[in-house]
Amino acid sequence: MNAEKRREIFTRLRAANPHPTTELEYTTPFELLVAVILSAQATDVSVNKATRRLYALAATPAAIFALGIDGLIPYVQSIGLYRNKAKNVIETCRILLTEHEGQVPRNGAALEALPGVGRKTANVVLNTAFGEPTIAVDTHIFRVANRIGLAPGKTVEAVEHKLMKSTPPEFLNDAHHWLILHGRYTCMARTPLCWNCMIADLCEYRDKTALPTKGI
């Protein structure tokens, strides 16, 4: 895909949604960090239901650490892999308190050193909480980038590298959110809604014979 097409894709996504953000609910970088840890292999809806209850009681590293794993589990047990996630959240709180003065570090390496935090989670926090121009490649972004020809790659790392290199700088802060939302609600895995896609004429995806047509 050439640079002109890429720019037009992001121009249209920005026009439709000038101020995109995560669908996870949070008010502080720490709340976002915990929500993203909990969101692995879970929906944002399920995480939001859990964190609303949790944050009403405990919304700081000290408060959640004081709950302990057994005290945290009742708040997150509706989320998949909740036992391991509870363990990771408690240990993350401990590290934040002992090594970062209770603050979420604004550094990718320090974030990735936290339990349950990989590169994707670190990039989400850096981008969403701190406004850093990062792109967290999740399953939606990986699919969209490959399917439409925006940044094809066989690995998450390859797609991230291509997106960071080829996305015009003025779009970098928001590209992560636009691509996730596009993959979640339009360019879906099984039945992409090409007939209702604002960038369909720019997309390099060709095999549309099995897709629904407008009006169905």
The CA distance from 39 to 139, in Å, is 13
CA angle 114, 48, 98 (to 5 degrees): 25
pLDDT tens for 148-189 read 999 999 999 999 999 999 999 999 999 999 999 999 999 999
Residue with tokens 């407008």: 214
Residue ranges of the chain whose pLDDT lies below 70 = 206-216
Going from the N-terminus, what domains does the chain have, and what CATH number goes with each? 3-20+135-202 (1.10.1670.10), 29-128 (1.10.340.30)
The whole-model pTM stands at 0.87
Q: Compute the 3-state secondary structure of the chain and give helix, strand, coil in percent, each to the nearest 5.
A: 60, 0, 40
Active-site annotation holder among 87, 120, 207, 214: 120
| 44 is a catalytic site residue | no
Using CA atoms, how far apart are residues 213 and 216, in angstroms rounded to an integer? Answer: 6
Q: Has 138 been annotated as catalytic? A: yes
CB neighbour burial string for 47-85, b if at least 16 within 10 angstroms, e if fewer = bbebbeebbeebbbbeebbebeeeebbebbeebeebeeb
* pLDDT for the residue numbered 206: 60
Give dist(CA 102, CA 47) in Å, integer.
Answer: 23
Q: What confidence score (pLDDT) does residue 79 get?
A: 95
* Catalytic option among 138, 162, 165, 207: 138
